[in-house]
Every structure is written in C-alpha cells, then in structure tokens.
Structure 1
C-alpha cells in the first residue's frame, strides 16, 4: 500500500496505525475530531472532510470508536439501559463508521487492490456472547458488522479487487479500555496496530465482508 487514510488518527490505535504505516513509508492522511474537527456522527462533516480528498487510497481505516461516552460506561444489566445512552453508542460506533464508508467509496481505486477496515469488537459478536451485559455497546458493534457485510457486497460490484472488513484489535492499552485492563490481557497500541496491518495484508477479496481478530482468525457474527 502506498496511500492510507486513517480516521480517528488522534486516538490510541489510530495514532499507532499512523506511526506503523509511516515506518513502512506509506503516505498517510489523517483525520480526527480533535485535530481536524471531523464529527463522524454528522454526515455534513464527513462529506466535507472526505470530499476534500483526492481518490486513490489503498487503505481507508476507520479507527474511531468509544466504550464510555459522556461519562456513561457500559451497562451491567438491562436495568441500566437508557435510550439516550444507547442512541449515542449507535451514533459513534455504528452510524459514524457507516457514514465514513459511504463517503469513502469514491476514494478507493477500482483498478487495483484496496482495503477498507473498521474497528469492531469481539463483544459485538452475537454468536460469541455468553455473558450478556454491555447491551448498547455490543448492539452497536453488531450493527457495525452488518454495515461492513453490506458494504462489502456492494463494493465487490464496482471494486472487484477491494476488501471491506471489520477487525477486532484485542484488548488494547488505550484510554478507551483503561478501567477494564485488569479483566483481560492487553497489548500496547503499537503492537495492536502492527497485528491489524499484518492481518489486512494477508486478506484477499474472498475474505471481504468478514469479521477478523488481531490474529487473522474469523470471529462469528
């Protein structure tokens, strides 16, 4: 890959992806709310920022996402669920990446391999859910996986060499997971970034529409 666009580049994984790609001498374009004012939950903002870019990106990676939003952490039970918190989770973790995918289609080349990836999470797997809880976050990530699946099917019609996937980075040492690191083994953001890029490099168009973990193994929907 020679050109890459990282959405959410100021976050822990996003910044690590930028650094890893630059080490490989990839020309990296970055966009984030903090640095550029990009609001992925606002289509006008997404259209404006992506509309200023010229096509030809070999990789578009949406590394945006949030577990705790506005001080509201994941629910431990249905009793804690509120429609307001759930709506915000969907806006950030599903609708936002969906809008990025919508407006990034024109940036991907049709005549050569290209990749679109979005950060998902294993807890968004319906088939792998045996604990319950975290309903809003889980549901938003599950919905994102469906968006990626739909996007991959549509993308294959116009971009036959393209790959569109959801990726689970594992538990990564970032601000998003700080309060939960004691529950699961974690890796550093640079290590997670290297793993995700290695997974992407090994995928083929036949893998498009899938959901993969940081080792390249399929995660059940």
Structure 2
C-alpha cells in the first residue's frame, strides 16, 4: 500500500524556504490527496512560503525551526502534535554545501574542523534528531515514509574523484544514521519506511556554482526533481526501508 493511499495524507517538510523543499510544498498543496502540510523554515519564512500560506491557510502550517538546535526540533514537533495526531510523510530537505568562507574542499589542506562540524550539523545530525522526535507521529496503522534528501556523492563505493570532504562525509553519515533508524523503526513503527533519496543535480542555489560541468539533460528543474522523487516514494515497497535510491528509482551503492 502506498503512503498516498491513506485517507487525507499529512506531510511534514523540513527545510521548505527554497529549492527542493519549497518545490515539494508547492506540488503537495496541489494534490487533493494531501490533507495538512506542515513546513519548517529557519528564522523568517520566504516570500514564496508566505504567499502559499495566504492561498492555503487551512492546509499549510508554518513552523520556525533551526534543525541544528534540538530544543527547537522538539518544540516544532510539539506544535504539530497540537494540530494533528499523525503524519504519513516526512521529508528532510535541509542541505548545506557552501556559504561564505565555507566551500567544498579540493584538498586536505583546505579542511577546517569548524567547517566539518557545520556540514555534519545540518546534513546529518539534524535528520537523526528529527527521526528521534517525530516518531510518535508516525506510530500508527497507516503506511508512512520518512525520506531524507541525500546525494550520490555520499556513496563511498561510488567515490572515484575525491574532494568535497565535508559534504561527502556528512551525506555518508546521513545514510548511516537513516539506515540505523530504519532498523529501529521496524520495531517501533513497523508501518514506516525510512529511505534516502538522491535527487540528481537540481537547479537550486546549492548547485548553481557547480553546474558548468553538468550536461543540460542532467540538470533538473526543481519541479522535475520533486515529481521524480514523489514517484519513487509512491512506488516504495515494505522491503525498501533503509535503502538509498536515485531519482529514477534505482538503488545506489553505499
């Protein structure tokens, strides 16, 4: 049974101010199968989110949450629990690659401990803390999915080029966190599938400085990436929990 076959599907999108997260929100709000869409943003909601809230005030809930602060995660989940008693789809869309002085490392000499900590805080630790706190909203009899946006460069077996130490390692850590979460969820919330998703190179602010070498047909608009990932989620089977999938539904190397 697909997660979208439940009656009035409730969704949580973490990291929805821009990029893929915002694309998910826009797509899901157009879907009549979706009930409530809870979305998190850091600091102020983007203009796009604010506009969507004006269009869908009874279906869209905006929640302020810094994913690097566990207290804020707990508060955000508690806020959701006041509104609804179950979630069917959780999407972790927070991702960090570059900002100011923090850029993907090309060599060992460029590694800085404080930069590595930032990569892990956002790309890895936030997801597993979310899995910790959101569990009560997933423990029900309907099919549910916890999906994290990962990246193919986080595959150890597929790493042939090197570089990008912090981003690669933090995405590999995300995969291990979620694989381990899937095992625990199989006992505590057996109807929940936990998966990692590689969206392909998507035309977002995160990828813009690195798009020059990407073939035009491999650079996806946000809407295309979102549509492809939702199709993967809809096709998931019970034995897919704990797996790492590409945008086309194929399984990726660890």
- TM-score, structure 1 normalization: 0.97
Q: How many residues align?
A: 221
1:169 aligned to which of 196, 199, 207: 199
Paired position in structure 2 for 1:53: 80
Paired position in structure 1 for 2:171: 141
1:187 aligned to which of 207, 211, 220: 220
Unaligned runs of at least 5 residues, structure 1: none
Unaligned runs of at least 5 residues, structure 2: 46-62
2:18 aligned to which of 5, 11, 20: 11
**8 Å CA contact retained: 1:56, 1:108:** yes
RMSD: 1.1
The secondary structure found in structure 1 opposite 2:181 is helix
Greater Rg, structure 1 or structure 2? 2
Per-residue CA shift, 1:14-66, capped at 9, x if unaligned?
01101111121212111111424311011001011111112311101111111
1:205 aligned to which of 223, 238, 241: 238
Paired position in structure 2 for 1:24: 31
The secondary structure found in structure 2 opposite 1:111 is coil
CA shift for structure 1 position 190: 0.8
The whole-number CA distance in structure 1 between the counterparts of 2:89 and 2:64 is: 21
**Runs ≥4 residues deviating over 4 A:** none
The whole-number CA distance in structure 1 between the counterparts of 2:168 and 2:140 is: 33
The whole-number CA distance in structure 1 between the counterparts of 2:227 and 2:132 is: 26
Per-residue CA shift, 1:122-168, capped at 9, x if unaligned?
00000000000000110000000001101100001122221001110
The whole-number CA distance in structure 2 between the counterparts of 1:175 and 1:186 is: 13
The whole-number CA distance in structure 2 between the counterparts of 1:4 and 1:82 is: 37
**8 Å CA contact retained: 1:16, 1:190:** yes
The whole-number CA distance in structure 2 between the counterparts of 1:126 and 1:138 is: 8
The whole-number CA distance in structure 1 between the counterparts of 2:86 and 2:101 is: 39
CA shift for structure 1 position 71: 3.4
Paired position in structure 2 for 1:113: 143
